[in-house]
Every structure is written in C-alpha cells, then in structure tokens.
Amino acid sequence: MGRLARIAGDFGEITILRSRKGGSQIYMQGEGLQSHADSAGVSLSYYIHALYGLVMQTRARDVLMIGCGGGTLGTMLARVGRNVTIVDIDPVSFALARSYFALPPAIKCAIGDGAAFLRRCRRSCDALVVDAFIGDKVPPHLRSETFFRVARARLRPRGYILVNVLLANDRDPTADGIAAAMTKAGLTVQLLDTPGDVDRNAIVVGSRGRPLERPSLLVVPRRDRKPIADALGEMRFRPWRRRGHPASALTLPRLTGL
C-alpha cells in the first residue's frame, strides 16, 4: 500500500492509501476503515452494494445521506441519475472524497451534524441513508426514537430510512435496538443481516412503503466481484429481537423476507 495523504482532522487522523497492485483506494480514520473503492470510485465493500441495491429498489429520486467518508454510495447513486445530498460533520471528508474517490461535483455537500440538519431542513426526501460512526458505533442521537420521528417526518409517502451498523457477533443488540426505535417512531422495519458472522455489517430498514427484497450486485467493480457477490448472497432478512428475546433466535433457519 502507498500512502496518498495523511490529515490530522478534528475527529481523528485520516489516511488515504492506494494499492500498488490493484489500484484500489482506502479511506482510514484512526484504525477504522471508512471506504474502499476501485479506481473508478465504485465501492469494494459489500455493505455499500447492499445499501445501493436496497435504495435502487425504492425508486428514490432524492436521497439524503448522513456520513460521507469516501462517498462511494453517493457516487454510485449519482451516476444513475439520483439526486444526492450528503451531510457530514467533518468538512475534510468532502475534499478527500472529491480528490481521491471520484465524488461527482453534482452531489450537494452540507457540513454539520445529521440530526441537526434534519431538524432545520424542511425539504423532504425519498430515502435517508445513515452511515455515520464514532469508532465502530452509530452515534446514539442518530439511532434514537426522537431522531427517527424527525426523519420519518422528512420522508415522502412510501419513503425509506436505511441505517448501516457494525455488529460484533450474534449477541450484539445494536441493530435490534435501532429496529425497536424505528418501530416506536411508526416505521415498518426490516433487518438485513448475516447471522453467524463476526464483525459484520447489518442494515436496518425503516419504511413507509412496501417491503424490500434481498439486494444483489448491480454495479460490477473492477476487482473483487466474486467476494462481494458472495457476501451479498449470504445476507438475509431476519426478525429483530425485542429486549429479553434470547440470542439463540439468530440461529434459526434464515428467512428470505419478513
């Protein structure tokens, strides 16, 4: 790996790396991997392709994203004609996404906290994607019932909220807690996960529309096609656990939908 940039930001040191062999680029913040993309800006992370596949099913035209990193999901959506706005508390991320990850000029970038942006913005959207972390956790105020009530009010009829989370193992309650908060906020919930895996990504979907189906690989990257497609093929919608429900529920046969 060759280092392209190192910046001491307000939210941790950011390093941009490039693979000498494959030409892919990596966005690291501290020890955390924020983005990994091929030379054209297409993500090499399976969960970004999962988010992309889910958003494409919604037929959303206006997409609001909280959290930038390399901005790969926004880049992929903008290339197929979606109107994308990205909100991030760290202005450095936008400059790096444009310089190293091909973030298109047409994408609107807003600096600030995502929840505060939603509270003051009266513009509605078809889909809201939350992909923001402090370390390996979604900030508490971006996964609360209060946040999802505000977000629901900003959704157009049949709109969707998608939240990317990191799970340590099957006993990690993070995704289930977000599902509970969404349900209390009046949203219908689906939870896309890979039970049995450790240190994995899961996506919690809250909607005012029809249920979504499992995503497949729609944008083929210049490398790592098979492992990404295989990882997507392992993801399943599963029931979310209410508090006190045994973790062993995750070992039940996988479901194709709710």
| Annotated domain spans of the chain | 43-209+219-251
CA distance 152 to 227: 35
CATH of 43-209+219-251, one of 3.40.470.10, 3.40.50.20, 3.40.50.150, 1.20.272.10: 3.40.50.150
What does each of the 258 residues of the chain score in pLDDT, given as a tens digit?
789 999 987 788 999 999 887 789 999 998 889 999 999 999 999 999 999 999 999 999 999 999 999 999 999 999 999 999 999 999 999 999 999 999 999 999 999 999 999 999 888 999 999 999 988 999 999 999 999 999 999 999 999 999 999 999 999 999 999 999 999 999 999 999 999 999 999 999 999 889 999 999 999 999 999 999 999 999 999 999 987 444 434 433 333 332
The structure's pTM equals: 0.92
Q: Which two tokens stand for residue 143?
A: 């996964």
Q: Strands (DSSP E) along the chain, which ranges?
A: 2-9, 12-18, 25-29, 32-37, 62-66, 83-88, 108-111, 125-130, 155-167, 188-193, 200-207, 236-238
Look up tokens 């959290």; give the residue: 67
CB 36 within 8 A of CB 45: yes
Interacting residues of 214 by C-beta distance below 8 A, sequence separation 6+: 192, 232, 235, 236, 237, 256, 257
